[in-house]
Amino acid sequence: MSTFTTRRSLPRRTFLRGMGATLALPLLDAMVPAATAAAKTLATPVRRLGYVFMPMGADITRWTPPGGDKLDELSPILSSLAPVKQHVSVVSNLEIKNAYPGTHATSNASFLSCAKAKHTESTDYFLGTTVDQLAAQQLGRDTQLPSLEMAMDMMQTVGQCDNGYACVYQNNLSWSSPTTPLPAEAHPRLVFEQLFGEGGTKAERKAALRKRASLLDFVKDDLARLERALGPADRAKVSHYLETVREVERRIQKAEAGVAENPLRDLDRPIGVPASYAEHARLMFDLQVLAMQGDVTRVITFQLARETSNRTYPDTGVSDPHHPLSHHGNDPEKVARMAKINQFHVSLFAEFLGKLAATKEGNGTLLDHSLYLYGSGMGNPNQHDHINLPIIVAGGAGGVMKGGRHIRHAKPTPLANLHLTLLDKAGVRLDKFADSDGKMNELFQPLGI
């Protein structure tokens, strides 16, 4: 047990500071004193909400799990979820009515807003406050960052992108008001700096690149004092956390070195981004683990790719660009290739869930204390429809989420119902969200009830 167990405790918002850097700490035993009135409150895990967006729908025939209400057997696209399926539920037959007339722009824009995007090519765009930002208004009150917006695409195109809709609808998942989109960061170094700090200007970032300085070097004196005061269990926990920080730093620096040493300047890929999409995505997911472990933020959105993305995924063995392939015309071979891309995206999410499940926090894990929604605002991309969306819910929400199930709705049900329900289980109480007409409490009840 920690030496702080029966004496003065560390505040939950304890930071290590040095040379302008700030490093939050994970939840330690020393932050939860025994036999005090505050013990129960401090021991209660924080609630977190995360959202991962997959563009351009899915082959729903290879997505939908076979069998009944229990998730005994996984579909081909979802097969990588097997190690964590007890923490996962699949929800079928959800729709977004406000995404019609059916476009890529509205698929992205309505995923978290369930609102109708104003049809405009100009700057008079109008949507709605997204569910993550409603969560951030409450869950973000006590954290360094109210929310964290992340993406995989570096390009932020402007003007008209899809059927007369301004590009802002495809660029941004999060909106803090109907007229205020929140840009997402795709550069791992800049996300790291958002979380832990390391200079702000371009010149300072270049200096940091040359110096190859580590965040942990800046806080080593503070760290040494802290470790002398901690018990063995807390020292081991801090050590594991700092090893993870160091590993993320190492991977960012490796990517920076690889790009910096390339004589051909890649204008679309700023320094610090791994050349491999998979490694880039894994690094962005690892940054989310650190953000939650240090309680830097409790609300995260992550866009795996923009709608209409022509990105290719060599790791899947498919050479076709994603967007043209999604217009498959029901060609069985094209549908099968698109499904491989769907499967690849899900596998990266599954790896992330595994890391959350392996990261201890209090009496559980980060996955136990989080809720993540993974999915798309489009169902069948060949038809540009917004029904029967591919949707996964993962996590424990502090012990109230019951995973390992497949929720099949008999009729199309608003995605807004699920958003409203997840907000409620994270402690954010609303009577209604967008076009919701109820809650999905079956996700949180034992099977058979």
Mean pLDDT, rounded, of the chain:
83
The pLDDT value given to residue 368 = 93
Mean pLDDT of 39-56: 77
Confirm if 30 and 227 have CB atoms less than 8 A apart. no
Share of the chain above pLDDT 90, in %: 58
Whether the predicted pLDDT of 65 surpasses 50: yes
The reported pTM is 0.80
Whether the predicted pLDDT of 429 surpasses 50: yes
Q: Residue 426 half-sphere exposure, CB side, CA atoms within 13 Å?
A: 28
Report the CATH number of the 45-186+299-346+372-444 domain. 3.40.720
Whether the predicted pLDDT of 124 surpasses 70: yes
The pLDDT value given to residue 363 = 84
The pLDDT value given to residue 207 = 56
How many angstroms separate the CA atoms of 199 and 376, rounded? 35
Residue of 166 and 40 predicted with greater confidence: 166
Mean pLDDT of 74-99: 97
Whether the predicted pLDDT of 15 surpasses 90: no
Lowest mean pLDDT, pick from 51-65, 111-125, 147-161: 147-161
pLDDT 10s digits, 224-270: 777 777 777 777 777 777 777 777 777 777 666 654 554 433 333 34
Confirm if 325 and 318 have CB atoms less than 8 A apart. yes
Confirm if 284 and 188 have CB atoms less than 8 A apart. yes
How many angstroms separate the CA atoms of 82 and 153, rounded? 29
Lowest mean pLDDT, pick from 147-161, 325-339, 393-407: 147-161
Share of the chain above pLDDT 70, in %: 78
Residue of 13 and 55 predicted with greater confidence: 55
The pLDDT value given to residue 30 = 64
Whether the predicted pLDDT of 338 surpasses 70: yes
A 10 A CB-CB count for 360 gives 15
The pLDDT value given to residue 200 = 47
Whether the predicted pLDDT of 152 surpasses 80: yes
Which is it for the CA torsion 192, 198, 201, 203, positive or negative? negative
Domain boundaries, the chain: 1-41+187-272, 45-186+299-346+372-444
Whether the predicted pLDDT of 326 surpasses 50: yes
How many angstroms separate the CA atoms of 442 and 437, rounded? 15
Whether the predicted pLDDT of 406 surpasses 70: yes
Residue of 357 and 202 predicted with greater confidence: 357
Mean pLDDT of 435-448: 83
How many angstroms separate the CA atoms of 352 and 250, rounded? 19
Mean pLDDT of 209-229: 66
